[in-house]
Every structure is written in structure tokens, then in C-alpha cells.
Amino acid sequence: MLTYFVPRGTSLEKISGGPGVEPPEAAIWIDLVTPTVEEDKLVERMVGVSVPTREDMAEIEVSSRLYIENGARYMTATLMCRSDTDAPKTTPVTFILAGHRLVTVRYDEPKPFALISLKLVRACGPSPTGESVLMELLDAIIDRTADILEKNAAEVDIVSHQVFEPTQKRANRTLQYNHIMRSIGRKADLNSKVRECLVSVGRLVLFLANEADGMKWPKEFRAQLKTMQRDVQSLLDHASYQSNKITFLLDAMLGIVSIEQNNIIKTFSVAAVGLMPPTLIASIYGMNFKQMPELQWDYGYPMAIILMVLAAALPYYYFKWKKWL
């Protein structure tokens, strides 16, 4: 899908592109979403730069993500996508600054793009350019990432209460522990994706800050880039803290499960030790040797029963006295 954004007074007009649609020369933002080969070639002829393929955007080395080619700045960042679902993911997005025109290439729908397109269609600053649209997008991306991180932190706190304040009865604890372990895994996965996004955006912002002088950007853009760098760094610190907290919760949960298992094993061990003396007594009097005086004694059976009860009770009370139970 190909979309053009053209300045119209105090806003941007959104024009859908495609076969048979003449590209508007005044467009300052060209948005490519899962583009076809024809759309790629159309934008390349219009802007005069090559559009990277999906395979090119998936490269992870910095030199393949942040570079200058034919006077155009190519910047690829990994952004969060579908963070409100049970299957959050990251997707690469390429920003191309050619002259005063911005080209974005993406294969998914990160929420900041929808928010900024709606905002700019309603109103935008005077004399909008591709640079100003890029700054709006980056600002929205950082804000959105911060919101995701804050929501995940709040949910991690809920999981923390579930770990250290279990409310379920013993019979239901297995189900509760399974739920907690899955929750911890999901929070850790989302937090790692957020950190990946922040690292990628931080590199992009640093690249732009270094190129700002060569592009002769105004002071307000440079100041905004510095603010973005500070925001990204603070969010990275918070994400690292959350990662440590999630790791602690995982270790604590595994420790609690281990304690529960040890308690169960201890109960069986104590029961086995308690039943050993009665079993020994019963085995002795079950040997049926002829020369066993107690077998001919009238009180032999009651005496054997009493001995077995005492042999089972004495270890039990000894363990209770030692506080092993």
C-alpha cells in the first residue's frame, strides 16, 4: 500500500497511491506498507533513491541499518508491534530522508504511524517538511514505547504480589504456579522486545544527531534530538531494572516451587521412617519360628500391636519436638 501526504494549509492531505495514480510532487511523506515491486519502482523514480527490500531491512549490523547513499540518509529501526495482544512482536521500519522528503518502508502496523498520520491530517506546524514528520514519528515511537514499558511494569508488580502472597488453597497451587510462570515468561519476552526497540531507536537518534550539522537542521530539532537521547537512555535504564526484577521473580518462583516439593518429599520421608519400626516388629512376629515364646502367650497379639503403635508414635513426636514437621 502506498500513501502520500501533501501539505494543504495547516494540515497534510492523505492521498492513496497505486496504479494509475499520478504521484504528487509536493508530497513530503511517502508511506510504503508492504509495498509491491511496482510501488517500489514508482517511489524510486519519484524520489531518486533506492528502496530497501525486506531482507535488507532485516540486517542487524549497524552499517546496514544506518548509512548514507546518494545523499539520502537511510535509517532502519526495530519497533514494537501488537504489544496489546498476547503475541507482541517487533518489526523493522526504514526511514529515508532524501532532501526534505521522508519515505517510510514497513511491513506491519506500529501504532505510532496511525497516531501521527491522524494528527498531521488534522493539523500540523507551519511549513511542514520530511524532517518535521520524522521528528513527530520518533517522538511518538518513544512515547509509545514508554507506555508499553510502564504497562508491563505495572503487570510485573501484580505478578510479584501473586508470587509472594499466594491466595489459593494448596489443592489449587499447582494451577496458580503454572499461571504465574507463564505470566513471568510473557513479561520477560515483552521487556526484552522493548529493550531491543529502545536500543535500535537510540542508535537512530544518535545517528541523526551526528548528521544534524551536515543537514543544517534548526536548533529546535537538535535540542529535540538531545531530549530524545535522554529519554531513550532513561527508558533503557528502566527496562534493565525491570529485567532484573523479572529474573528475581523467576528465581523466587522456582525457589517456592522447590520448597513445596521438599515439603512433600519430607512428608513421605517422615511417614516412611515412622512406619519402619512397626514393620520390623510385624516382620519379626511373622517369621513363625517354633521357639518364639510370645507366639504361645495369651497377651502376645495385644503386646505386638502396642509395640507397633509406640514404635510409630515415638518417632512422630520426636520429629515434632525437633520441629522437623
Asked if residues 148 and 80 have their Cβ atoms less than 8 Å apart, the reply is yes
In whole angstroms, what is the distance from residue 30 CA to residue 95 CA? Answer: 10
- From CA 125, how far away is CA 147, in angstroms rounded? 25
CATH C-level class of 261-321 = mainly alpha
Nearest to 101, CA basis, from 75, 54, 134: 134
Strand spans (E) along 235-279: none
Question: Where does the chain hold its CATH 3.30.460.20 domain(s)?
Answer: 2-259
Q: What is the pLDDT of residues 224-259, one digit of tens each?
A: 889 999 999 999 999 999 999 988 888 888 887 787
Q: What is the pLDDT of residues 25-71, one digit of tens each?
A: 888 888 889 888 888 888 888 888 888 888 888 887 877 888 888 88
Coil, strand or helix at 104: strand
The CATH number that domain 2-259 falls under is 3.30.460.20
pTM, 2 dp: 0.78
Cα 267 to Cα 173, 260, 263, 316, 324, distances in angstroms: 18, 11, 6, 11, 10
Q: Residues of CATH 1.20.58 domain(s) within the chain?
A: 261-321
Beta bridge partner(s), residue 32: 2, 105
Compute mean pLDDT per 10 residues along the chain, 325 residues long, and list them.
Answer: 83 78 80 85 82 83 83 89 85 88 89 87 81 90 92 88 68 72 88 91 89 79 89 92 89 81 74 75 71 70 79 77 69
All 3 cell numbers of residue 315?
Answer: 518417632
Residue holding cell 520390623? 280
DSSP label at residue 93: E
- pLDDT for position 169: 57
